[in-house]
Every structure is written in C-alpha cells, then in structure tokens.
Amino acid sequence: MKKKPNLAVVGATGLVGSTFLRVLEERDFPFESLRLMASARSAGSVAVFRGAGYTVEELTESSFDRPVDIALFSAGADASRRFAPIAASKGAVVVDNSSAWRMDGDVPLVVPEVNPQEVARNRGIIANPNCSTIQAVVALKPIYDRYGIKRIVYSTYQAVSGSGMKGIRDLEEGLKGNDIRGAYPHPIAGNCLPHIDAFTENGYTKEEMKMVNETRKILGDERLAITATTVRVPVFSSHSESVNVETAAPFDLDELRGLLATAPGITLVDDPANCLYPLAREAAGRDEVFVGRVRRDFSVENGLNLWVVADNIRKGAATNAVQIAEKLLETM
C-alpha cells in the first residue's frame, strides 16, 4: 500500500452503515481521513469511531468535491444510482451495498473469497452482492472449482434484519403480541413468509432472481441451472440456507468435507451425532460462513446437500464490503 486512503461511509447511520464502522474498527482499517454521510434527516448527528466523534454530513452532489479514495455506500439503490457515479467521477472507488449496480456488465460483483481478481477491473464502482448470495457462493466455490456444478436449488430462511430496522421492529412487536406490518404484508412473529422483495412476472421474487443471476455472475458461469425459494422467518440475525447441488463430476464425501474445512471464509460445523450444525444464533456477530449437514442427495447422481448459515449484516453486507476495500488497498 502506497498511502492511507481518504475514506467515506455513506449511509453511516443505518443498520449496515453503523456495522461498516464497527467492522472497520475491528479490522483496524487504515485511513488518512474519515467522513460520514447520510440523508438530510440524519445530518448533524455524531457517531463515535475509535474514540473520536464524527459529525454526519448530508450527502449531496458536492460531497465528493473534497478528495475521497474509497467510499462505502449503504444508502439504498436510488441514492447509489444518483451519487455513486458522481463519487467515481471525482476519483473515488465506490463499494456499493445496494442492488443498483450488481448486474451491470461493467461493474464487478465481488466476494473476496471467491473472485478477488475482479476488484482490479473496476471503473470506479464495485458492487457488493446480495446477502443471501454471498454466503452461498463462499460455500459453493471450493465445490465448483473441484467438481464443477450443474444445478443448484436454493431454499433460504432469512432473518428480519435483512429488512433493516423496520423488520426488527415488526418481530419485536410481534413477539409482544402486537401484529404490526411495518416491513411485511403479514405478521412475521410465528410466521414464515415466502415473499422477499416484489414478485416478478415469472412468479419468482426479485430476491430469488438475485440469487440466480448473481451466483452465475460471481462464479462466471451463465450455464448454471439454478432455482430459488427465499423465505423470511422470525429470526433476528443470520440467514440460513438449504443448498442442494448437483455436481458435474463424482465426488468423495470425505474429500469434499476436507475442501470445505480448509476453504477461506468457511467454518465447518458438521457433527450431527452430537447435535452440532450451523445455527443462526451462533453465527450472529461472526464473519465466517458456517457449513454443515454435508450429505449426499441420493435422489440424483452426484447430488449434495449443505446447510449454510452466516450473519447477514456482517458477512452478508458490511464485512464483505470492508474486505473488498482491503483488496483495494493492495492496489494503492
């Protein structure tokens, strides 16, 4: 690294933005200067980082007139579409957590354990994938590289924190017996809602199509056959996923477990005889992707089942973005 970057966090007062700050502090991310930005509603508030107070600025079209080298964005897709190109035009590299740029062919979609080489081809914007996709592809990467993959069936069980503070409040109030609907069309307490994001013309939700399209882009394989059903469940933190895979080549199960156990970013928790398997509560606050229930699917040739769990706000959003920023440091 030639220099310490001028760093900006956009959307700094939100759930993911505040986690950006926590992860940056935990990982001792180096910087020359730090600026926090948010909407006019949050401007003027003060956030504490490394013991110092930082006043939150209003995000405007002139915010990047002062030099910024790396900008971590989590302010929503509309703000990203408007402000990320401005930041990039002024010399910043934006790591964007929204859906705005993920499927743009000129924008890398990066999970550092999977396709870190894509960071180098950025033109000023790098997209952070969807939370449910990130943890899935971390688990799939060593399998894809060793055996190839023909088909993936995703079934997800996603925490309410994926809907931000509104989702958390819906569950908190629902557990008290107050069936509010701030984030969802139905009460979430005591329910499983097979409805994340809007439905599309093909009957899938946008969340399901994100998993299909983003997995193909990250793994660099448009031929992959993928289907998904994504479900919101009454859990505060960490997404859980059943991932059913048909590999292209036969696999030895012990060898496959060994690949998972040694792959970057993965912690293998796979001892069902002793009731040890990945759990949402134990993944919360952690940065690893936890994989377990590794077993053959005997209904199809070369079939495999995995249970994949990760903290959706950390590895599924903030930590992945900071890891991308760390890769950017290597180019400075």
Active-site residues, by number, are 131, 239
Backbone angles phi, psi at 28, to 5 degrees: 55, 50
Q: Is 148 exposed, middle or buried (0-12, 13-18, 19+ CB in 10 A)?
A: middle
Q: In what helix (H) or strand (E) does residue 134 lie, and over which residues does it extend?
A: helix 131-147
Please give the Cα distance from 36 to 112 (Å, whole number): 25
Cβ-based neighbours of 134, under 8 Å, separated by 6 or more = 111, 128, 310, 315, 316, 320
End-to-end CA distance of the chain: 5
Give burial (CB, 10 Å; 0-12/13-18/19+) of 76: middle
Distance of CA 301 to the CA centre of its chain: 31
User: At a CB cut-off of 8 Å and minimum separation 6, what does 65 contact?
Assistant: 90
DSSP classification of residue 163: G
Are 269 and 290 spatial neighbours (Cβ–Cβ below 8 Å)? yes
How far is it, in rounded angstroms, from Cα 192 to Cα 171?
A: 12
With beta carbons less than 8 A apart as the criterion, state whether 177 and 261 touch.
no
Q: Which two tokens stand for residue 114?
A: 């999977």
* 8 Å CB contact between 143 and 245: yes
Residues in the chain: 332
